[in-house]
Structure 1
């Protein structure tokens, strides 16, 4: 008599480790200066937890990006009584910051840094200088926009 071999292997290999590390954080904040400060603070805490340590160039750049985009949401994207949302995501060494507000008619623009008659308006120039890419898109429901920026945080 012959025995039939089992259709299953005798030993099952453990699942392979994922190719990448993925992290995600989303929170809504009040559209106030206090809400913008809290967004910056919590983003800094989260980045440190994800392995982007305080006082590193990547941490400093990312918290500054969060601060600028949050301040813009509070000052330019404000609709009274509506919050803004911060979303951080990291895949491998790429970190993406998204700030969503509820005012769709005020679109982000890069201002001329040499114009002396402007008060403020240079935050997006700073974001553009610090990031690998940035942009914006309208919310799907048409009631606002999301400004995003991404940065590769691999050490040089």
Structure 2
């Protein structure tokens, strides 16, 4: 009887550890503007010179989680978070507090010239990843594909 109990305890502990490792609950609900849902993909469009933008409305479920926006390599960005502007390249990170979330987060980016050319002429679709994360099991990841919208000639 003791062996059976020990085996059940080991299995239970392993299952609980696996559940904590694989559980992914979103730390916030994020709604996007200027991101369109087309063919089962979230898509934002760029201009011919490689500029793009979108806005986010963040509704946190928990406080003090890390928000990361990963752009394609070589991409410069401007993120307006509240009354502060953040400029940089490739990756933006900030800790989001539930009590001080701005009404709108504005994200503007410019892709490198070579990547812009590949998107426009070769149809490449690089991605932007928006990740919300806080240990032990709060995690969400949104993928936004970047495309160029060809304009119809009248």
Structure 2-normalised TM-score? 0.28
| Greater RCO, 1 or 2 (C-alpha within 8 Å, sep 6+) | 2
- Write 1 or 2 for the structure with the bigger share of helix: 1
